[in-house]
Amino acid sequence: MSTALFGSVETGIIYALMALGVYISFRVLDFPDLTVDGSFVTGSAIAAVLITSGQSPIIATAAGTAGGFLAGCITGILHTKGKINPLLSGILMMIALYSINLRIMGGQSNVPLLNEQTIFTMITEFWTSLGISQPVNQSLAGIGIMDPAIIFTALILTFIVKFITDYFLKTEVGMALRATGDNKSMIRSFSANTDGLIILGIGLSNALVALSGALVAQQGGFADAGMGVGMIIIGLASVIIGEALFGTKSIARTTFAVIIGAVIYRIVVTMALLADFLETGDMKLITAVIVIGALITPKLIESRREKKRRLRKKAELSRAAPAEERSGQNAST
């Protein structure tokens, strides 16, 4: 049980990078970008192919990230220069990437990474070579963490990306990017190239998505052409759950919320799959239900609160009214 839980925390932290990417496109740029389903696979495909051909996992991961950046830029160009609707440019890129990803993987729909060196095996090896791994691992295994090196690497990496994102969004360029999502004509009147900023923003968003994909492939031990299906909804679920629970007071807080949202999403899915009547194949359905729930629940709570408030006001008024009547009668007599 706790092993399954920590397993989902680990996966959640790696998927949080993807969720941060979705946060940049959906929230910061207000651009519903569906490229994600394709660029996630692009990241894992490039990384897997380079690793199997003997490249260093670090270079392979970086190349995967760059591939995602490029894909995102093309979506941005389709929208800004080709004047195609944001949703449609994302869908077009997603469908194009399906074929491109197959090409990258040499026509196969699956590239296994069994017995290959990955970022995670590298770190586990390094950890073991320190000599203190035995006692630490054993004590951590007691609380359910099977592979401490992996979970801590993922944690450190995700938080480094989070802090860079926080910093970037407060720079002059980053602020112009946020303003592009907030009020395009305003920031254009302050000499910002909004087309360029959208291309850059969608590029960065998909770079994070592809980085996440590259890491997921290395953790899971394979890249698969179908592994990106529904990825955008998982990203959105993370963003919405995180924001609903932790709020959006500041950028740092929101990016933190998104990471926690990604982890919570994984935990919820894992718990749901523990139920006897659900199968692994039901995962996408569970995801859809989670997102629908996360979208509707806050509004339901809000409207119920409003209703209560109104009833209370009404009650107060009806209590006050007879009192007034009486005082009115007193005055007249």
Partner 1 sequence: MLRLEQVSLTFNEGTMDEKKALQNANIELKSGEFLTVIGSNGAGKSTLMNVISGSVIPDTGNIFINGQAVTPMQEYKRSQMIGRVFQNPSAGTAPSMTIEENLSMAWSRNKKRTLKPGVNKKKKEVFQEHLKTLNLGLEDRMTAQVGLLSGGERQALSLLMATFTEPDILMLDEHTAALDPSRAELITGITADVVEKFQLTTLMVTHNMQQALDLGTRLIMMDQGQIILDVAGEEKQNLTVEKLLEEFQRLRGEKMANDKAVLG
User: What is the distance between the alpha carbons of residues 95 and 104, in angstroms, rounded to a whole number?
Assistant: 15
- Cβ 214 vs Cβ 228: under 8 Å: no
15/31 with CB nearer partner 1:
31
User: What is the distance between the alpha carbons of residues 216 and 29, in angstroms, rounded to a whole number?
Assistant: 26
Radius of gyration of the chain (CA): 24
Cα 220 to Cα 8, 26, 56, 144, 212: the distances in Å are: 12, 27, 18, 19, 12
59/186 with CB nearer partner 1:
186
User: What is the distance between the alpha carbons of residues 270 and 218, in angstroms, rounded to a whole number?
Assistant: 20
Cα 330 to Cα 156, 236, 318, 323, 326: the distances in Å are: 74, 63, 19, 11, 6
87/164 with CB nearer partner 1:
164
53/191 with CB nearer partner 1:
191
In angstroms, give the least distance from the CB of 167 to partner 1. Answer: 8
Amino acid making up residue 103:
R
Q: Which residue has the tokens 């008024």?
A: 317
Amino acid making up residue 197:
L
In angstroms, give the least distance from the CB of 249 to partner 1. Answer: 11
Q: Is the Cα torsion angle 102, 108, 109, 114 positive or negative in sign?
A: negative
In angstroms, give the least distance from the CB of 298 to partner 1. Answer: 18
Residues near partner 1, by CB under 8 A: 167-168, 170-176, 178-179, 182-183, 185-194
16/179 with CB nearer partner 1:
179
In angstroms, give the least distance from the CB of 191 to partner 1. Answer: 4
Q: What values do phi and psi take at 245, rounded to 5?
A: -85, -35
In angstroms, give the least distance from the CB of 15 to partner 1. Answer: 26
In angstroms, give the least distance from the CB of 189 to partner 1. Answer: 5
- Cβ 47 vs Cβ 62: under 8 Å: no
In angstroms, give the least distance from the CB of 294 to partner 1. Answer: 21
170/304 with CB nearer partner 1:
170
In angstroms, give the least distance from the CB of 171 to partner 1. Answer: 5
User: What is the distance between the alpha carbons of residues 68 and 101, in angstroms, rounded to a whole number?
Assistant: 11
User: What is the distance between the alpha carbons of residues 26 and 321, in angstroms, rounded to a whole number?
Assistant: 50
72/174 with CB nearer partner 1:
174
- Cβ 199 vs Cβ 77: under 8 Å: yes
- Cβ 242 vs Cβ 260: under 8 Å: yes
82/226 with CB nearer partner 1:
82
